[in-house]
Structure formats: structure tokens, C-alpha cells
A and B are shown apart, each in its own frame.
Chain A
Amino acid sequence: MQEQNELIKILVEKHGRTRNALMPILQDIVAEKQFLEPSDIALVAEELDLSAADVYGTATFYTFLDTVPRGKNVIRVCKTISCYMSGKDEIINALEKVLNIKVGDTTVDKQFTLLTANCMGWCHKGPVMLINDDVYHSLTPEAAIEIVQQYKEKSKN
């Protein structure tokens, strides 16, 4: 709780207290801890003198501002038509198997969340997935598993 208060205080100092500081503050919290908890939103609302419902409404409008618990690494596989045609279902099946979760879920060790996403503008190199802020294109099921293994290794170190 103390840490969380400090993070938000720092972000408020950085971005200011006006309404247009709301988005960058929320984005930075998500960058730091992957999702927004009720207490985060309440604190941001208090700092910016906004209603908590209003801030929650803003957060829920944006797919990338999650308000449910997410793992340390968020994988988003493109589900839009080009990636669909180039085999996104195989990628998802492979990831579900290697992570032992379904789309929408988070692994028990809280390391990975598997989601689908709308078009990321990489239609010419589908299927595509995003892990945190990094794009991985021209995927095969094997390549996708290999990439996830690398993230697993990284988190062990």
C-alpha cells in the first residue's frame, strides 16, 4: 500500500493534476504493475479531484488499461481477420498448451496472462502477438512457444 501510494504520488508530480494528466498516469501505473486495482483508481481520483466512478469509466474504455489482475507478462494474440487467416488459432492452441491456461486466464505463478487483441497493423506479417510492448510476427506455433520459453527463462534470473 505504501509503495502504491508513492508510485501514484510520483506520477502525479510528473504529469500534474489536470484532467488530461489522467491517461498518462493510468498508463504508467499499468506499465509498472500490469493492472489497476480499486485502490489505485481511488487514489488517482482523489489526487486529481475526480470521481472514482469517472476514472473507472475512463480506464474501462481502453483495452490496454486492465482493471482485473494480470500476470507479469501479458501476451496478446491478434484475432483480426488477416492473422485469423494466417493461423492465429494454432498459435493460441500452442500457447494455451505450453502455459496450461485458457485465453483470458493468468498462470498460477502470475507470470503470464494470455489474451487476444484487435489488429496491431502487422497484417502483412501475421500471425502476430504482443508480449508487453514487444511485437512478434510471422509466428509459427513452435516459434511462439520458443519466445514464451525465453520469457520464462528471463523471469527465473
Chain B
Amino acid sequence: MAKALINLKINDIPITVEEGTTILDAAKKLNIKIPTLCDHPDLSVAGNCRVCVVEVKGARYLQAACATPVAEGMEIYTNSQTVRQSRKHVIELLLSEHNADCTSCSRNSKCELQDLAAEYHIFDRVLLDILDPENLIADISSPAIKKDISKCIHCQRCVRTCEELQYVSALAVIGKGAEQHIGTFFDYPLNEVVCTNCGQCVLHCPTGALTERNYVEEVWDAINDPTKHVVVQTAPAVRVAIGEELGFAYGTRVTGKMVTALKRLGFDSVLDTDFTADLTILEEGTELLTRLKRALVDKDPEVKIPMFTSCSPGWIKFMEHLYPEMLGHLSTCKSPQQMFGAVAKTYYAQKKGINSKDMIVVSVMPCTAKKYEAQRPEMRSSGYQDVDYVLTTRELATMIKQAGIDFMSLPESDYDPLMGESSGAGVIFGATGGVMEAALRTAYEIVTGREVPFKNLEITPVRGFDGIKEATIKIEGTKPEWSFLEGVELKVAVAHELANANKLVRAIKEGKLHYHFIEIMTCPGGCLGGGGQPYPVSWEIRQMRAQGIYSEDENLPLRKSHDNPEVMQLYEEYLGQPNSHKAHELLHTHYFPRKKYLN
């Protein structure tokens, strides 16, 4: 049923919108900007910051535009003297309890509160500063996320993010009145509570209250240390987002320029996580086929089907906390980042004649959870910490700016050899459904000797931003050794955002849904919407990044992981076969049950 239409006027301009539209969205249609802080397009309405107040003719008080639906005949003024004064006052009140030491804040020049203070000319602090000095000590217990409540404006975007998108609720509103703050369970440090380190709270925070732990200086130190061979790897989703920080439009593919910039920053070799994404597909695809064989042929009651992907470290920690009894369903494959570190400090070091102890592996990731993952004690297969430092896309952009590199005018260059080659299948790891698509491209071909039956290898049912996607692929014409799969309908599912993942896992646990293979990505849209990606974020922006990822795939000469010659070389010269003993040592891991409510 079509919604009723409502006629109203905003600043004397008539407009007709659907019933239920908020004043804020109606104003957007007229290109009238109403400032907001607590509002975010990914989240439910909160209406608590009051910075979006507008005057509605006939109403006794100003109304919050984000939380007020339009009504027939409404006359709204978004820029009256009362509105301007009130807004200014709201910003002054927020600043009165805000640690406005902007020059020492990592959100300096990228802060929504700072922007508003500048726009509204808050030059004089007319109100008493009531910042509690006790709040000045930030929580840096987590290797991924820094929580500094002296910068918090209580907008609760983080609380809604953690609850609505991620079903984690590590953060909640604690206390009331003057004592109210955003905190954790008993205000324990972040590393002691059920937090997945996904960083969506960081991405959704309007100020510097939640930021990533910054490792830029450590990486500069490594680069400047002549005794160290510093290797850098870049995740698939970084190449379609870092341009946004450096002057390009949302979703622009800047792979070649990024590689040049990394070389100019002084990294000794610039390699690609996409290489180990391809490697992951061979390991994970083989693991899946082995599990299916054990289930279908050997009738092994121990084998766990469905198998879940394991590339997303936020998802891993989510399972360890909330579904410890289901850890056996997770693929034992390490994430591409960790496979990279383990291979770099062994195979690559040997090939290059470098002592592993003199090697530093830096990752550039769209992710904050990768910072945590790199420090997990089991991620030391090389005998050293396999990945030394993890930078977010934002941190790398900072380094490029610090180095005075004019990114836009850079020439393009290619990744260095041995671990720099990748297929389109590796690239699409950056979008939700990408790992599934890459795995199917390879597994189907291993089993049948033919390409997946989709036009141009595009497995469209697993693409797009639906929270949970499903597909069924009938396996026909198998090779003799895979005849047990003849006629099998392979059922797969894909979910992104942990709230969707939770729905899927719960249904599987209760026996309501049955699949063979499931891809889960922690963040909305997959890695392209990761907690380490540039600000701001919305579904429109994620869509543009996804387009960038899929056109990168389309334009690569190699589209399937098993066609990657450097991956094949690694198997021939070092690992043997996928899932070999050596491969297990370096590329696979295990998981640990954690407490559900207390860490």
C-alpha cells in the first residue's frame, strides 16, 4: 500500500513527502542541511543531542528534526534566530563537558563536533568547564580500540552500533544524571569484556571518544631502522577506500598509486594480502571438500558441517564468546593477514636470504580487529610474532600525508614479486559474499574440472548487501575422485554484520537451517565497510566501494585463486599440497572458548 503524501513547507519552500518521513529527511530532499550529531543513517533514531532542533510553527518548543515526523500543513524554519541561538547553545553545552584539547586528538580535523563548533563560531567558552578530570585517563587496554570518555558527547551512536549492528552490546549507558557515561560491564577495561574489536563503534563515533590504537610511529621507527627488512601487505578493501582520504571520490580504485606511495614511504617490499587471500581459498576450499568427504563418504560423526569461514577476526572472537560450543564449525584456516605473516617470515625470508628476526611485517587493513588478531599468542608460527604492526586504512593515509606525497599525481606501480600476485578472487574478499564466490570458483572447478556455471564467473546470488544471502549450486559431471558429490546440491549462505550472523548461527544451532558452507563478515558490507576504513560511512558509500572491488576483479587477467602462479609456486617449492602437514603448521590455527559474559 502506498503511503499517504504529506504537504509541508520548510523555510517557506513547499514540498510533498511520504507519511512517516522525518523533518530531517524532508529537508535533505530540499538540499537544506540540518546539523546532526546523534543521528546516523545506519542506526535507529535517538534524538538526544538536540543539535538538529528546528522551529515548527504553532509548536511550543523547538523540535528535534531527526525524531519528528512531518505532518500535513507543517511550516518549519531551520534557520530562524531562535533555532540558531539554541543550536549554538547546545554546542556550547556539549563543549562544556568535552575535553576540547583538539590538537592532541587523533580526530583533529575529522571531528563532527569540531566542525560544528567552527561552523557556529563557538569562539568564547561562555559556560563553566565541567569536564571531570578523572575522565582524562583513556582506556588503552585493548590493542585495537582506545576509549577516551573525556571526548564523549553521550550521543550513544557506539551503543546503538554495538547492539543493533553487532549484537554484542559491549558498550552501554551506565549510571544516570551527572554520573551517566558510556561504559562496559562494571566499567571493566575493554580487553576484559565481550568486545570483538570490530571498530564499528570507532567508525560511528562523531568525536575522538573511540578511536583505533595508533601504530604509525612504531611503523616509522621500523622503516627508519636500517637493520630491519620491512615488508608491507595491503588488504583487498584498502585499495578502494584509501583514495577517499587523499582526494579521490568514494570507492575509487587506487591500487597502483597506493603501491607507489608505499614504496616511497620506504617499505623494503610491497606485497599483497590478496596473494594470501588466494592461498586461503586453496586451503579453505580443500578443507571444505575434505569435511564433505568425511561427512558423506566416511559418515564420520565428528565432522562439523556447516563450515564457517574464518577470515574475519571480529567474527572469530564473537564465536569464542557467544557460541564456544560451535567452534568446531569454524574453518581452521588463519585469516589472509596471518597466513601472510607466517609465510613472509618463513618462505619469503628464505627465498630472499633474510633472517626472520630482522624482518618486520606491517599490515594495512580496513579493520581494527586485525590489530588484536596479530597479537594473539597463537599467531607465532614463524617463531616470531608473524605480523608485527597493523595499520588501518586511515593510518596509512596519515603516513602518506606526513611524507608529503601528492597522492593524486603519483604514477602507478605493481606489487613486488613472490607474494604480490593476486587473482580477482582474492580481491573480492573485500566485499560481503566475496570469499564465498572465490571459494566456489575454485572448489567447483576442482570437483568438476569445469568453471562455475555463472556468466563471466560472477556468482550474483552471493553479491549485494542483503543481510543474509543464500544460494544452492548443483554439482554435476564430477571427476571420478569426487563422484560422491555427483548430484549434490551444495547449499551456502553469506551474512555480514554480527547481528545477522547471530540470527544465522542461532537458527543452525536450533536445527532450523541447514547449509554446507557459510561465509561471515563482521562488518556491514564486508571489509569494505570495516572499522578501519575512512570516515564517514553509509550504504551509499559502501555501495561505491563494492563497485570498485568488483570492477577490480573484472579487470584482472586472473580471476580464480588456483590460477595464481605465485601461490602455485609456494606450494611446489615449500608447502607441498593444500592442507599438507607444513600448510597446517603455518596456515591453520585453533580457537579458544571464552566466557560468555565475563572475560
Contact = CB atoms under 8 A, between A and B. Distances in A.
A45 B186 CA distance: 13
Contacts of A50: 169
Interface residues of B, number: 20
B464 interface: no
Contacts of A42: 185, 596-598
B170 to A, nearest CB: 6
B165 interface: no
Interface string B163-185: 10000111111111001000111
Contacts, number: 57
A46 B172 contact: no
A61 B184 contact: no
Contacts of A53: 169-172, 174, 183-185, 193-194
A129 interface: no
B174 A45 contact: no
A5 interface: no
A95 interface: no
Interface string A27-68: 000000000001101110110001111101100110000010
A118 to B, nearest CB: 11
B511 to A, nearest CB: 18
A43 B598 CA distance: 10
A60 B168 CA distance: 19
Interface string A119-131: 0000000000000
Interface string B182-211: 011110000001100000000000000000
Contacts of A43: 597
A57 B172 contact: yes
Interface in A51-108: 51-54, 56-57, 60-61, 67
B174 A52 contact: no
A46 B596 contact: yes
Interface string B28-51: 000000000000000000000000
Given A41-B185, A46-B597, A67-B186, A51 B176 contact: no
- Give the interface SS of chain A, mostly helix, strand, loop or mixed: helix
- Give the interface SS of chain B, mostly helix, strand, loop or mixed: loop
Given A38-B186, A67-B186, A51 B172 contact: yes
B194 A52 contact: yes
B354 to A, nearest CB: 45
Interface string B422-458: 0000000000000000000000000000000000000
Contacts of B184: 53
B210 to A, nearest CB: 15
Contacts of A67: 186
A46 B193 CA distance: 14
Nearest to B184: A53
A38 B174 CA distance: 14
A50 B596 CA distance: 11
Contacts of B598: 38-39, 42, 52
A54 B186 contact: no
B176 A61 contact: yes
Contacts of B169: 50-51, 53-54
Interface in B135-183: 163, 168-176, 179, 183
Nearest to B167: A51
Contact of B597 (A52, A57, A60): A52
B498 to A, nearest CB: 12
Interface string B232-247: 0000000000000000
Contacts of B175: 60-61
Contacts of A46: 596-597
A60 B176 contact: yes
A67 B183 CA distance: 14
Interface in B583-599: 596-598
B186 A56 contact: yes
A67 B174 CA distance: 12
B454 to A, nearest CB: 40
Contacts of B168: 51
A50 B598 CA distance: 13
A91 to B, nearest CB: 24
Contacts of A38: 185-186, 598
B174 A56 contact: yes
A37 B233 CA distance: 46
Contacts of A45: 597
A29 to B, nearest CB: 15
B186 A51 contact: no
Contacts of B174: 53, 56-57, 60
A6 to B, nearest CB: 18
B20 to A, nearest CB: 26
A38 B169 CA distance: 16
A56 B597 CA distance: 11
B185 A52 contact: yes
A41 B186 CA distance: 9
B324 to A, nearest CB: 13
A43 B595 CA distance: 11
A56 B169 CA distance: 11
Nearest to A44: B597
Nearest to B193: A53
A53 B174 CA distance: 8
A72 B597 CA distance: 28
A51 B174 CA distance: 13
Interface in B565-599: 596-598
A67 B188 CA distance: 13
Contacts of B176: 60-61
Question: Across chains A and B, which 5 residue pairs bring their CB atoms closest together, nearest first?
Answer: A51-B169, A57-B172, A42-B597, A53-B172, A52-B597
Given A51-B194, A53-B169, 18 more contacts: A38-B185, A41-B185, A41-B186, A42-B596, A42-B597, A42-B598, A46-B597, A50-B169, A51-B170, A51-B185, A52-B185, A52-B193, A52-B597, A54-B169, A54-B172, A60-B175, A60-B176, A67-B186
23 contacts: A38-B186, A42-B598, A45-B597, A46-B597, A50-B169, A51-B185, A51-B597, A52-B598, A53-B169, A53-B170, A53-B172, A53-B184, A53-B185, A54-B163, A54-B169, A54-B172, A57-B173, A57-B183, A60-B174, A60-B175, A60-B179, A61-B175, A61-B176
Interface of B: 163, 168-176, 179, 183-186, 193-194, 596-598
